[in-house]
Structure 1
Amino acid sequence: MTFKPQIKVPATYMRGGTSKGVFFRLGDLPQEAQTPGQARDALLMRVIGSPDPYAKHTDGMGGATSSTSKCVIMNTSAVPDHDVDYLYGQVAIGEAFVDWSGNCGNLSTAAGAFAIHAGLIDPSRVPENGICEVRIWQANIGKTIIARVPVTNGEVQETGDFELDGVTFPSAEIVLEFVDPADGEGAIFPTGNLVDKLEVPEELVTDGVLNATLINAGIPTIFVNADELGYTGAELQDVINGDAKALERFEALRAHGAIKMGLINSLEEAKTRQHTPKIAFVSPAKDYVSSAGKQIKATDVELLVRALSMGKLHHAMMGTCAVAIGTAAAIPGTLVNQAAGGSERQAVTFGHPSGTLKVGAEASLVDGQWQVTKAIMSRSARILMEGAVRIPQETSLP
């Protein structure tokens, strides 16, 4: 039997915020993968190394976590007043599918930097020294993101002294602005309520009722109270991820919340929509020690948030979920706002497993409906490796 040699696809491996992913220019992909479909999904899965029953991604670029099993496709934008189109694929680890249902806020940071690195920005818009405002069209959810990327000597500045909890080394700061961050075309609160009584089987929650804030901002997110689930809210990854029954319960609650939000029609559908919605639990501020051994005091934050991504507790905080946190914190009456103390605010600092994060959001009540004009936070990004990724030829075929 004759085996064909591997093919080379130009690619850049980047960290953005607390995530990592493989970035491609659309025109660099094999022809059959330049349009959505089976060939594209197969290509990205093989790049990452999925599906992997060993859950290690030994034979791919992925890191076998929700934060590192990601791909991005970018191109110059055809949308007026935007520089680039940014399409994000969350690659499942153990199953054969790519979830295109939402955005990655962390990699949105890298998308701004990559756009400049890859020559996708009109040179006249890139200053010799200063800040380049990259206008990104987030193609998964049809939203605008503005990345303010520092430039030195005509190139993206990647080194700096900006520290981000969850990232070991400092880098240059990139400010992200999520414009009109309500996800998709739906209302911020799809049920019309700031807090819902989520009815679930009694084996999941005592009495079968759980308070929940269901919000579409940044990414569809289900917020619940830590104490209603028997947690303090200061838990680190091992406490949750080492408990198979806890993970099963969170996934079941996520599925029930997704139905309530109108994102799926049956519990079974949740298995093929792992990226959205997210589920997170909140609690009032309290002292705890981060995963890096850093002492976080209750006075350092306004509340604690722990979020799950792709079935596991996240090591820090997803960028899009941070947008949801900032939005919900700005709206009096939500569980997030209540955990933060209940007052009106335009910014909130919260504690996550790796440390703290501040995110701002501007919310207002218009004709009885809550609207959010923008959410802002700072992240960082840098290139880890660039060149070409190699994959077996047969992978790119339908």
Structure 2
Amino acid sequence: MAHKPQIRIPATYMRGGTSKGVFFRLQDLPDAAQMPGAARDALLLRVIGSPDPYGKQIDGMGGATSSTSKTVIIDKSSKPDHDVDYLFGQVSIDKPFVDWSGNCGNLSAAVGPFAISAGLVEANRIPRDGVATVRIWQANIGKTIIAHVPMTGGAVQETGDFELDGVTFPAAEVQLEFMDPAADEDGAGGSMFPTGNLVDDLEVPGVGTLKATMINAGIPTIFVNAESIGYKGTELQDAINSDEKALAMFETIRAHGALRMGLIKHLDEIAKRQHTPKIAFVAKPADYVSSSGKRIGSGDVDLLVRAMSMGKLHHAMMGTAAVAIGTAAAIPGTLVNLAAGGGEREAVRFGHPSGTLRVGAEAAVVGGEWVVRKAVMSRSARVLMEGWVRA
């Protein structure tokens, strides 16, 4: 019986922040997959092991969670004053679908290290010792990310003492600057607040009318108050991910929020837009125990945030959602800002299921509208495996 042999493709499996993904150089992909389209999607689905009706991705590189079902394609940049172009594909676990609608802020931390190691950054821009500045064009959303990558002895430094809640072992710190993070595509019309309001009354059939802050920054995100949907903001994954009724409620809120934000034109379009927008709920500080058993005191954080990713409560916090949190917190009157105590602030530390995270943002009113010049946070990254992946 005739059979089609597998192909092997140079690839690197990396952790970035609290996510993992398979990284490729564009030129290493098969010719048909070097262009957007069905061939590329089919290849990435097979690499990750999707669609998998068992939800385990046993026959692929995926880890059966939204944080580990990810792919990245990197190439030398075609944009002036940028080093590399970064394209992110969020692979559905149980459906034959790759979502290209947004960025992954966690894996953004691994882009600079990968680009340097893969020879995609000009040698004269890389110090032997010190910090390399990698200028990244995030192709999904058309934004600039600046990564500050530590270098030792001419190589990317991966080991260090920087600790990130949600990641077991310490590593070297990679500082990220998300420049002008307000989204300006997908119908958002260039406004950080697509409805024109810091807080809206969002009518959701079967749920009620919720106060909501809908923001385009880092990634389109819908924030609601925890108490308005029956939560405290201290919940861990099992409390929500084992509750099918709760998951359906969050998806309904997400769909109606996406419609109000202009991201979709009809509610049924949300099924093909799993990665964006995100839905998150916020609360004032409270004591809780994180998923690792670490005790988080109310005095350790400015607010609590829990966020959904690909239909499940995230085990920590998506990097792009952290940008949205930092941005919204910097703008007086948003639900995020109010949960943090209100007023003007340049940074917040928020509690998530795995611990805490600090994120900063520079916000100002320009021409009567809020703008954010950049959002800043630290992550870490590490090569887990390199060689070839088979598909």
Q: If the TM-score is normalised by the length of the shorter chain, which range does it land in? A: over 0.9
Q: Which residue of 1 aligns with 2:311?
A: 311
Counterpart residue number, 2:349: 349
1:362 & 1:221 partners in 2: Cα distance? 18
| 1:161 alignment counterpart | 161
User: Which residue is equivalent to 1:200?
Assistant: 204
The corresponding residue for 2:228 is 228
The aligned amino acid for 1:77 is S
2:239 match = 239
Match of 2:249 in 1: 249
Q: 1:260-288: per-residue Cα shift (whole Å, max 9, x none)?
A: 00000111100000000000000000100
**Counterparts of residues 66-85 of structure 1 (less than 5 Å):** 66-85=66-85
Q: Percent identity?
A: 73
Instruction: Say which SS state the counterpart of residue 315 (structure 1) adopts.
Output: coil
Structure 2 counterpart SS, 1:81: coil
Q: Secondary structure of the equivalent of 2:164? A: coil
Q: Which residue of 2 aligns with 1:182?
A: 182
Q: Which residue is 1:14 aligned to?
A: 14
- Counterpart Cα distance in 2 of 1:14 and 1:311: 23
Q: Distance in 2 between matches of 1:265 and 1:65?
A: 28
Q: Give the letter for the 1:371 counterpart.
A: V
- Looking at structure 2, the residues matched to 194 and 343 of structure 1 have their Cα atoms a distance apart, in angstroms, of 14
Give the residue type in structure 2 aligned to 1:336.
V
Instruction: For residue 5 of structure 1, report the CA deviation from its aligned partner.
Output: 1.8
CA distance in 1, matches of 2:262, 2:184: 12
Q: Distance in 2 between matches of 1:173 and 1:301?
A: 21
What is the root-mean-square deviation of aligned Cα atoms in Å? Answer: 0.5
| Offset from partner CA, 1:331-367 (integer Å, 9 cap, x none) | 0000000000002100000000000000000000112
**Which runs of 5 or more residues in structure 2 are unaligned?**
none
Q: In the TM superposition, what is the alpha-carbon distance from 1:184 to its structure 2 partner? A: 2.7
Three-state SS of the structure 2 residue aligned to 1:349 is strand
Residue equivalent to 1:380:
380
Structure 1 residue matching 2:68: 3-state secondary structure:
coil
Q: Which aligned pairs between 1:277-292 and structure 2 lie closer than 5 A? A: 277-292=277-292
Give the Cα separation in 2 of the matches to 1:131 and 1:237. 36
1:129 aligns to what?
129
Q: Which residue of 1 aligns with 2:88?
A: 88
SS in 2 for 1:133: strand
Alignment partners' CA distance in 1, 2:184 and 2:43: 27
Task: State the TM-score, normalizing by the size of structure 2.
Answer: 0.98
What is the number of residues matched between the two proteins? 387
Q: Deviations over 1:170-201 (max 9, x none)?
A: 00000000000001342100001000000111
C-alpha distance in structure 1 between counterparts of 2:376 and 2:307, whole Å: 19
Return the offset for 1:4.
2.3
Aligned residue in 2 for 1:45 = 45
Q: TM-score if structure 1 supplies the norm length?
A: 0.97
Q: Equivalents in 2 of 1:137, 1:194: separation in Å?
A: 29
- Which sections of structure 1, spanning at least 5 residues, go unmatched? 392-398
- For the residue of structure 1 that corresponds to 2:170, the secondary structure is coil
CA distance in 2, matches of 1:90, 1:187: 25
1:257 aligned partner, one-letter code: G
Give the superposition deviation at 1:2: 1.0
